[in-house]
Chains A and B, each alone.
Chain A
Amino acid sequence: MSSWRNFFTYNKYSQITARALRASFTEQERVAAERRGLTILKFQRWENGLGGTQIPLAEEEARLKEAVGKSS
C-alpha cells in the first residue's frame, strides 16, 4: 500500500494528495484553491563565497525528471 515510499518522501506524498484534493473541487472553489498549490522558489549554489546562477525550482525539477527518464 505504501510502496510510494520507494520513490518519494512523505513531504512529496502530502503535496500530491493535497493537489489531488484541490483538483476535485467545484469550479468556484478551484479558482481560490489553485493558488495555494503554487510554489515559486529560486535557489542558487554558493561556492568559495560566490553565488552561482539563480535557478527556479520548477526548471530544476523538470531537468532532473528528464535525466531520470533518459537513464532508466
Chain B
Amino acid sequence: MSSLRLFTSAARKASSLRTFGRRGYAEANDKLKLSLVLPHESIFTSTDVVQVNIAAEAGDMGILANHVPSIEPLRPGVVEVIETNGASKKWFTSSGFATVHPNNRLTINVVEAASLEKFSLEAVRANLAEALKVASGSGSETDKAEARVEADVYEALQHALAK
C-alpha cells in the first residue's frame, strides 16, 4: 500500500518537473513563503505559512501555495495569515501591494499595519464622523477626496473591529 502511494507521489512529482509552468492546485501540506513588510518593521520574512487572506482592490482573496504569479493592489483592510500550526493572525493594513512571485513566494508591502487589538473603536468612530463631515462639507475638491479616502479607511476599520 505504502509502495503504491510512494509510486504515485513520485510520478506526480516527476510529471511536475517535466511540465514546469503547468499550473495546479496546492496540496494539503504545501506551504508558501510569506514576507509581510512595512517600512519600519518586518512582520514576516520568508516564513512558511499555509494560507494568506488579503483584501485586494478587486475583492477579497485567499492565497495558497503555488499560486499563479500576480500583483494585487490592496485596499485598507484585514490581512489574515494562517500559519503551519493552524493558528490564524490578523492585521489591519493601510494600503500597498501583494505580489505572488513565480517561485511560490508572497510579498506583501504595506505602509502601516497593526493587529486589531491596537485600535480603539472610539477613536475610529470619532474619526469617521469627522471625515464624513469634511467629505460632505464645503472645502476644496482635493480636501473632500482626501476625507473620502480617510472615511473609507475608518469604515473598513470599524467593520473589521466589529467582528
The interface of chain A, by Cβ under 8 A from chain B, is 2-4, 6-8, 13-27, 29, 33, 36, 68-69, 72
Contact = CB atoms under 8 A, between A and B. Distances in A.
Contacts of B157: 21, 24
23 contacts: A3-B145, A3-B148, A4-B145, A4-B146, A7-B141, A7-B145, A7-B146, A15-B111, A17-B95, A17-B111, A17-B150, A18-B111, A18-B112, A19-B150, A20-B76, A21-B94, A21-B153, A24-B119, A24-B127, A25-B114, A25-B118, A25-B120, A26-B123
Q: Is the interface of A mostly helix, strand, loop or mixed?
A: helix
A33 B40 CA distance: 10
Contacts, number: 84
A68 B119 contact: no
A2 B145 CA distance: 9
Which of under 10, 10 to 19, 20 to 34, or 35 or more describes the interface residues of B? 20 to 34
B154 to A, nearest CB: 6
Nearest to A26: B120
Given A7-B145, A24-B124, A26-B123, A17 B76 contact: yes
A4 B120 CA distance: 27
B149 interface: yes
